[in-house]
Amino acid sequence: MDISKRSVRKIAFLTIFALACFGFLWESPNDAISRRASVTDDQYRQNAGYLSDPLKEKDTAVYWHIPKSSGSTMKIYYGCIGLTLATQSGTTAGHETDRTLQVWERTLPGWSPVKFVNVDTSKIEGVFRAKNLGLAESGLADVVFSPYPQTVTYMFTPSHQARFFALFRHPIERAVSLFYYQQVATWERTEGVYQPELADMTIQEWLGDNRRSGEAKNFLMKSILSKKSRDLIEDDLETAKEIIRTKFLVGLVSKMEESVERFDKYFGWYDHEKRPVCQEEAIKSGFNRNSHPPVEEGSETWNVLADYMSYDLQLYDYIVQLYEEQRELFGATMVG
């Protein structure tokens, strides 16, 4: 009888072990990166440079692309002045199967040729691929664009660090813009962005459908900490503030031209020959804009939105304050 019990325990142990191994072997690239980059504070501390430290030659500028916050305009602008970009466009024209890194040019309608590295850092699996190909160490990208700031730090190392910058928009204005944009964005390559059925829904109905509106709820907090909205707590807000204060050069969509001027001075792009022309054509004119009815502050819809993104609203208020505090950075040379 004792032998039988030992045998049963042994079989049970081996079964659990086998299932665990099977699950590990079959995890998706998304799961793999989430597992490997699970320690948020350490990832930022080690692999992202401090804003106050001089830029190093091996650092790479990383733009946190927050949807409907002028990210597309920033891609056009920096491509226009001649920088090499890591974006979702990098793996078009068959480059998603390339086995080594390379820079190639693509001519966008109405623009001069833009240089891309053949990676797609707009997707988590694309970050995984870029890491394996050695993007950070290669120095090929002048700017990496990604909506996943915490995850993208996985690509970097203490000797090849990310240098973060971003444009921030009022969270409610951003959510409203996203709602209307998804109704008409037939040109979007990213699955799930174009949702024409939203035209038959109110914003309140959209917010109540987590499958459709989950991206909008506390997007800033979720993205910077790699946490689900329902798991956020008050301490997370303080963590997010500290990460942005120490690691991010912040800009505001409401102060677009001044923000871009700060970015260019900080990263050493201000003296690019094509900058004045590109600024006129991209920054002042805008790109990928979508007109839509506004939501009035204090209205029922505004208040519903405010409830859904309370953490993001607090974080945004802090970012506006931080934007003013960062003015002092531009009284000295920023490139060491």
pLDDT score of 201 more than 80: yes
| CA diameter of the chain | 86
pLDDT score of 187 more than 60: yes
Q: Can you read off the two tokens belonging to residue 269?
A: 């792009």
Residue 207 CA to residue 175 CA, distance in Å, equals 10
Instruction: Report angle CA 149, 302, 289 to the nearest 5 degrees.
Output: 55
Q: Can you read off the two tokens belonging to residue 72?
A: 């597309």
Alpha carbon distances (Å) from 215 to 31, 115, 179, 211, 282? 18, 30, 11, 9, 27
Radius of gyration of the chain (CA): 22
pLDDT of residue 13: 39
Alpha carbon distances (Å) from 144 to 65, 84, 99, 152, 188? 10, 9, 19, 9, 19
Instruction: Report angle CA 317, 323, 324 to the nearest 5 degrees.
Output: 105
pTM for the structure as a whole: 0.83
**Mean predicted confidence (pLDDT) in 51-58:** 95
pLDDT score of 194 more than 60: yes
Report helix, strand or coil for 254.
helix
The percent of residues in the chain predicted with pLDDT above 70, rounded, is 81
The percent of residues in the chain predicted with pLDDT above 90, rounded, is 59
Residue 198 CA to residue 212 CA, distance in Å, equals 9
Q: In whole numbers, what is the pLDDT of the chain averaged over residues? A: 84
Torsion of CA 285, 287, 291, 295, to 10 degrees: -100
**Mean predicted confidence (pLDDT) in 30-41:** 44
Torsion of CA 109, 285, 219, 200, to 10 degrees: -80
Q: Which amino acid is at 220?
A: L
Domain 39-329 has CATH 3.10.450: no
pLDDT score of 291 more than 60: yes
Give per-residue pLDDT as tens, 109-157. 767 799 999 999 999 999 999 999 999 999 999 999 999 999 999 999 9
**Mean predicted confidence (pLDDT) in 20-40:** 39
pLDDT score of 9 more than 50: no
pLDDT of residue 332: 47
pLDDT score of 333 more than 60: no
pLDDT of residue 290: 66
E-strand ranges in the chain read: 60-64, 84-86, 103-107, 113-117, 143-146, 162-168, 248-252
Q: Are 255 and 323 in contact (CB under 8 A)?
A: yes
Q: Which of 3-7, 170-174, 251-255, 278-282 has the lowest mean pLDDT?
A: 3-7
pLDDT of residue 286: 62
Query: What residues contact 241, with CB distance under 8 A and at least 6 apart?
Result: 315, 318
Give per-residue pLDDT as tens, 89-103. 999 999 999 999 999
Q: Which of 84-88, 207-211, 231-235 has the lowest mean pLDDT?
A: 207-211
DSSP conformation letters of 175-219: HHHHHHHHHH-TT--STTT--GGGGGS-HHHHHH-HHHHGGGTTH
Name the phi and psi angles at 105, rounded to 5: -110, 140
pLDDT score of 6 more than 60: no
Give per-residue pLDDT as tens, 237-253. 999 999 999 999 999 99
pLDDT of residue 196: 83
Q: Can you read off the two tokens belonging to residue 73?
A: 């305009």
Q: In the beta sheet, which residues pair with residue 113?
A: 107
**Mean predicted confidence (pLDDT) in 85-89:** 95
pLDDT of residue 105: 95
* Residue 225: CB atoms within 10 Å: 22
User: Where do the domains of the chain lie?
Assistant: 39-329
* Residue 267: CB atoms within 10 Å: 20
Q: Which of 93-102, 104-113, 189-198, 311-320 has the lowest mean pLDDT?
A: 189-198
